[in-house]
Structure 1
């Protein structure tokens, strides 16, 4: 059985939820329809003509890309332009295109974490915070006989996370009273009679990003027709996600040796380097894509070097004068996402017993040639 388009994207958004993206980022379905079976998915950094030809050869129904193919509203769609021809080819071959951009950068276990891991950076902080989860307090009253069933359901759905602790809750025994009215089918008690039931009050924390999932799990596991529960907004802040990662290296190295690590870890042949190659590097920062403007944030967080792409001349001069090194492996270093996303989706689709195939694009979309 093949997964529907919405099912595939639902899995993708478990990895990179849309709500954590930078505001106004061009993400989501940009072309085509998800209302169809998906036999083949192609994961790519960019959607170029060569990538579309690859997709056609693989009989792909859905392309998941990191970089958008539509950046601004279209005034017209002319099929005699390079972009128009690309859109036409995708439409004629019924290939949908879905974009996961800054949400894949920001999310835990996304591009910036993959790059940090590849460079041996024990990532701890972001360079710029983008999204902070709002927290709610969930209170639900459960008959004593079904306490464990409901508690396990809400905690396993993601409730109860406090810092580095999970499955946190508080439980109080007491009595609930109610009178089932006409037309009810009570789990406990009889119509028209006051019922006094042994119940347990469960309290736990719910992040806004998982609120719908947790409430649905609670209602499904609860035996009552009408579930008594409260959801209170809290002033406490939840998990914060952001762009880039900073952290210590497992062991200090010289900048020239760290350069070799960048080339190997990110699979690039050439990099541009700002700084003394013999300076020690104890802490590093990384940001996929164009991140030159974040060198001050990297330095403020104690990084000796920032690894990022598209660094301009004046930014390089300013960083050099300020005493922070920069390694520029190019914007295309984000290609690390192809195998990572494809592997993640393959695993999730396999777990759900779907026959949908996922392919990592083999097309090199790097626009630069190094002579």
Structure 2
């Protein structure tokens, strides 16, 4: 069975939730429709003519890309222009385009984590916080014999996470009272008679984005016809997510050595370096894409070097004066997302027994040529 387009989108939002995106970012469906079966998905960094031709030849119904194919508002679609011809080709071949951009940058297990992993960084933190989970407290009263079932259900739905700890809860044993009405079918007791039942008061934290899912899981696992529970907002902050990563190498290395490692890790022919080649570096900040404005963030985080793309001339001078090194491997290093997303999405679909094929684009979209 092939996966429905909406199913594929939901899985992508599991990897890169939409609410992680920077405000105003162009993400989600941009061209075509998801109201169809998806036989094949092509994962690409950019949507170019060559990438669309690759999708047509492969028989892909959907392109999942990192960079938006429609970035600015459209006043018209003129098929005499390069952009217009591209949209026309997509529509005529019934190829939808779905974008995961800054939400994939921010996500745990997304682009910035992949960059950090490729360089072997340990103990990673975000470079700039862009989203903090709002938390709710769930309180529910459960008969003793169903206590563990309900706990597991809410934990599996996403409840009970505090920082790097999971399955957090507080449980108090007590006696609950209730009197079933005449038209009820109580799990325990009889209609019209006061019932006293040994119950456990369960308290656990629930992130806002999964609170409906958690409540539904709790109600499904709970044996009572009418469940007594409360869900209320908390002032306590939940987990924070952000752009970029800062971590440490296992040991300090010269800047020149790290520059060579970056070239190899990200498969680029050259890098631009700011700083003395012999400068020892251990604490490293990484940020996929264009990171000129994050040099100050990296410096405040105590990084010895920032690895990012699109460093401009004046930012390079400022960094040199401030004593922080820079390695610029180019914006296109985000191409690492092609194989990573394809592997992740393919595994998620296979786990659900869909036969939808997912492939990484083999088309290079680096606009620069190095001579």
TM-score bracket, shorter-length normalisation: over 0.9
User: In the alignment, which residue of structure 2 is the partner of 1:6?
Assistant: 6
Deviations 1:233-284 (A, max 9, x none): 1111111011101111111100010000000111111111111111111111
Aligned partners of 1:76, 1:188: CA distance in 2, in Å?
65
1:174 aligns with 2:166: no
User: In the alignment, which residue of structure 1 is the partner of 2:192?
Assistant: 192
User: In the alignment, which residue of structure 1 is the partner of 2:88?
Assistant: 88
Q: How does 1:8-157 map to 2 (within 5 A)?
A: 8-157=8-157
SS at 1:117's partner residue?
helix
User: In the alignment, which residue of structure 1 is the partner of 2:218?
Assistant: 218
- Conserved? CA contact 1:113–1:123, under 8 Å: no
**Offset at residue 222 of structure 1 (A):** 1.1
**Offset at residue 224 of structure 1 (A):** 1.6
Q: Which range moved further: 168-177 or 343-352?
A: 168-177
Aligned partners of 1:179, 1:43: CA distance in 2, in Å?
58
Aligned partners of 1:223, 1:41: CA distance in 2, in Å?
42
Q: Which range moved further: 256-265 or 135-144?
A: 135-144
**Offset at residue 123 of structure 1 (A):** 4.4
SS at 2:203's partner residue?
strand
Aligned partners of 2:359, 2:226: CA distance in 1, in Å?
46
Unaligned 5+ segments in structure 2 are none
Aligned-residue CA RMSD (Å): 1.1
Q: Which range moved further: 219-228 or 107-116?
A: 219-228
SS at 1:244's partner residue?
strand
SS at 1:258's partner residue?
helix
Q: How does 1:138-287 map to 2 (within 5 A)?
A: 138-287=138-287
**Offset at residue 179 of structure 1 (A):** 2.3
Q: How does 1:298-317 map to 2 (within 5 A)?
A: 298-317=298-317
User: In the alignment, which residue of structure 2 is the partner of 1:345?
Assistant: 345
SS at 2:73's partner residue?
coil
Aligned partners of 2:204, 2:232: CA distance in 1, in Å?
11
Aligned partners of 1:57, 1:83: CA distance in 2, in Å?
20
SS at 1:72's partner residue?
coil
**Structure 1 residues 90 and 182: alpha-carbon distance in aligned structure 2, compared to 1, 3 A threshold:** farther
Aligned partners of 2:32, 2:190: CA distance in 1, in Å?
54
Deviations 1:42-96 (A, max 9, x none): 1000000100000001111111100001112211111111111111111111111
Aligned partners of 2:196, 2:58: CA distance in 1, in Å?
64
Aligned partners of 1:103, 1:51: CA distance in 2, in Å?
22
| TM-score when normalising by structure 1 | 0.98
Deviations 1:141-197 (A, max 9, x none): 111221111111111222111222211111111122222224432222233322222
| TM-score when normalising by structure 2 | 0.98
**Offset at residue 121 of structure 1 (A):** 1.6
**Offset at residue 9 of structure 1 (A):** 1.2
- Conserved? CA contact 1:116–1:123, under 8 Å: no
**Structure 1 residues 183 and 57: alpha-carbon distance in aligned structure 2, compared to 1, 3 A threshold:** farther
Aligned partners of 2:48, 2:140: CA distance in 1, in Å?
52
- Conserved? CA contact 1:123–1:245, under 8 Å: no
Aligned partners of 2:72, 2:260: CA distance in 1, in Å?
38
Aligned partners of 1:186, 1:58: CA distance in 2, in Å?
57
SS at 1:126's partner residue?
strand
SS at 1:22's partner residue?
coil
Aligned partners of 1:222, 1:312: CA distance in 2, in Å?
59
**Offset at residue 301 of structure 1 (A):** 1.1
- Conserved? CA contact 1:173–1:199, under 8 Å: yes
- Paired residues in the alignment total 371
